[in-house]
């Protein structure tokens, strides 16, 4: 089938199944264009909790679809490719996470949403890049914090809030790929471009950034700013919406270290229009979670929603 036929069939199936398509900003443009809602991790969690559709089709990665299932357990949650994982989730296995918690029983655990349902179930509070600072500021000053699994986001939050935190040693394969040397050369070529970055980036990039935020915050910033040119240090999928929000402005992807497209998330980019169509027609693959894990994982996510 051609892309146009997939788009038409997806629209037909959506009506027939009473489905809603949720997509993350790192999805391919053609997937973003068929979605009912596009957002960052927090926006997508809120949407998944509030939808009245019978079926949620999640065009993102597995931890996002699992969060949707945890918040809406009675709904069928479809995912175009079950192999769409995340290096942060994969670098934080449940057993090792629980062992760390046992070693530090006095610490409250604030866990970034980029983790498995198993890890969520063993956490006190979940956060995303858009609400982490707000949540940390609500924790009493004398309570030690264990932050997992992204050490870059954790380090950034420590600096921002002045809170020392015990950090899990994980990182995102995409956000640690940006080259400082190439970035400096790019800034010389484009002296008027403003560098903006996602907080999963490493410290040398973050210290040079004029604005740091979640994907939604970056999008809002470029739309509202009086600047007309930006260097974007995050996954370049977000540029599709930036161009729509501010067509007259210039968006330059920050360069990766190697001569490859490794600033593209290899997990997010597993999803295609064809796989999206196939998961709808087959009503599979779908997210299935152990009910006990699902229930325990719901509590720290709900806590996050209350605190943000």
Q: And the tokens for 133?
A: 């600072």
Q: Closer to ligand SF4 by CB, 199 or 300: give it.
A: 199
Structural contact between residues 234 and 201, judged by C-beta atoms closer than 8 angstroms? yes
Taking contact as CB under 6 A, which single stretch among the options 48-56, 83-91, 222-230, 270-278 is the one that binds ligand SF4?
83-91
Least Cβ distance, residue 192 to ligand SF4 (angstroms): 28
The interface mask with ligand SF4, positions 125-144, x = CB under 6 A, is: --------------------
- Measured from the CB atom, the residue of 8 and 37 that comes closer to ligand SF4 is 37
User: Which entry of ligand SF4, ligand 13P, none binds 267, CB below 5 to 8 A by partner kind?
Assistant: ligand SF4
Coil vs helix vs strand at 9: helix
Cα 34 from Cα 62, distance rounded (Å): 19
Nearer to ligand SF4, 31 or 61 (CB): 61
How far apart CA 213 and CA 190 sit, in angstroms, is 22
Helical axes 291-307 vs 62-71, angle rounded to 10°: 90
Pick out residues in 46-75 that bind ligand SF4 (CB under 6 A): 61
Can you list the alpha helix ranges (DSSP code H) found in the chain? 3-17, 29-32, 41-50, 62-71, 87-90, 94-103, 117-121, 132-137, 151-161, 180-189, 203-208, 215-224, 239-245, 273-282, 291-307
Binding mask 86-105 for ligand SF4 (x = CB under 6 A): xxx-----------------
Alpha-carbon distances, residue 243 vs 29, 195, 231, 299 (angstroms): 11, 16, 13, 38
The interface region with ligand SF4, picked from 6-14, 130-138, 157-165, 168-176 by CB under 6 A, is: 168-176
Site for ligand SF4 contains 173 (CB under 6 A): yes
Q: Which stretch binds ligand SF4 (CB under 6 A): 71-79, 177-185, 264-272, 294-302?
A: 264-272
Nearer to ligand SF4, 265 or 279 (CB): 265
Residue tagged 């973050």 (tokens): 206
Strand order in the sheet with 76-78: 37-39, 19-24, 55-59, 76-78
Q: What is the strand order of the sheet 108-112 is part of?
A: 125-127, 108-112, 145-148, 165-167
Query: Using CB distances below 5 to 8 A depending on partner kind, what does residue 131 bind out of ligand SF4, ligand 13P, none?
Result: none
Q: Which one of the spans 9-17, 67-75, 80-88, 249-257 is the region binding ligand SF4 (CB under 6 A)?
A: 80-88
Intra-chain end-to-end CA distance of the chain, in Å:
43
Q: Which of residues 202-221 bind ligand 13P (CB under 6 A)?
A: 214-215
Q: Which residues bind ligand 13P (CB under 6 A)?
A: 40-41, 114, 128-129, 172, 198, 200, 214-215
Q: Which residues bind ligand SF4 (CB under 6 A)?
A: 61, 86-88, 114, 172-174, 200, 235, 265, 267-268
């Amino acid at each position: 089938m051609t892309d146009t036929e997939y788009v038409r069939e997806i629209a037909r199936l959506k009506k027939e199944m009473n489905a809603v398509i949720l997509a993350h900003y790192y999805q391919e443009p053609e997937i973003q264009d068929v979605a009912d809602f596009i957002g960052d991790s927090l926006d997508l969690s809120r949407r998944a909790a509030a939808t009245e559709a019978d079926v949620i089709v999640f065009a993102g990665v597995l931890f996002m679809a699992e969060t949707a299932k945890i918040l809406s357990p009675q709904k069928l949650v479809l995912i175009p490719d079950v192999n769409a994982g995340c290096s942060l989730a994969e670098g934080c296995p449940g057993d090792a996470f629980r062992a760390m918690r046992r070693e530090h029983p006095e610490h409250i655990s604030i866990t970034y949403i980029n983790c498995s349902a198993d890890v969520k179930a063993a956490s006190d509070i979940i956060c995303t890049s858009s609400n982490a600072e707000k949540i940390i500021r609500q924790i009493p000053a004398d309570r030690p914090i264990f932050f997992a699994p992204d050490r870059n986001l954790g380090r950034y939050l420590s600096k921002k809030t002045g809170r020392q935190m015990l950090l899990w040693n994980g990182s995102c394969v995409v956000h640690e790929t940006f080259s400082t040397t190439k970035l400096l050369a790019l800034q010389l070529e484009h002296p008027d471009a403003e560098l903006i970055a996602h907080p999963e980036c490493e410290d040398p990039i973050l210290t040079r950034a004029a604005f740091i935020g979640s994907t939604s915050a970056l999008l809002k910033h470029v739309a509202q700013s009086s600047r007309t040119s930006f260097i974007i240090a995050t996954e370049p999928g977000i540029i599709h919406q930036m161009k729509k929000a501010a067509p007259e402005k210039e968006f330059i992807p920050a360069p990766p270290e190697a001569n490859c497209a490794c600033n593209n998330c290899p997990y997010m980019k597993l999803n295609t229009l064809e796989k999206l169509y196939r998961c709808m027609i087959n009503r599979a693959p779908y997210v299935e979670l152990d009910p006990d894990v699902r229930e325990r994982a719901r509590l720290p996510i709900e806590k996050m929603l209350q605190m943000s």
